[in-house]
Amino acid sequence: MSVPVPSISAPEAMALQKSAKVLMLDVRSALEINHSGTAKGAMCIPAIDVYPRARPASPKFDTKFTQAETIIVFCAVGARSEAVCVSLLRLGYQDVRNMKRFSDWVAAGGAVQAA
């Protein structure tokens, strides 16, 4: 059964980040993030490591997931972010959105920080 994942544009993500409790989640590898930086304020967790960090019963759980009202996920192309969004929705997170590409954030003038 597929889980529908809402998408969000980079400009919409920038506006939402200013007005709500948003967790920006970069799921690219450390190598990718070290090369290009990430969206300002983003939490960087490789896609493979998100599930244990987002699952409340896990010893690796990070409370930033439950503190956020909205989780916006992105990667390089959109496939990893889509898969992570599905996992988060299945874990019960209500407002999860796929921004897909970090390059869209940069092209829209989003602030970037070093890894």
Instruction: From residue 109, give the alpha-carbon distance in Å to each of 8, 39, 48, 99, 103.
Output: 16, 10, 28, 14, 10
Q: How confident is the model at residue 55, as a pLDDT?
A: 97
CATH topology of domain 10-109: Oxidized Rhodanese; domain 1 (3.40.250)
Q: How confident is the model at residue 45, as a pLDDT?
A: 97
Q: How confident is the model at residue 2, as a pLDDT?
A: 72
Burial label for 35, CB within 10 Å (0-12, 13-18, 19+), is exposed
Coil/strand/helix, residue 51: helix
Q: What is the pLDDT along the chain (115 residues), one digit of tens a residue?
A: 577 899 999 999 999 998 879 999 999 999 999 999 999 999 999 999 999 999 999 999 999 999 999 999 999 999 999 999 999 999 999 999 999 999 999 999 999 999 7
Could you tell me the residue ranges of all domains in the chain?
Answer: 10-109
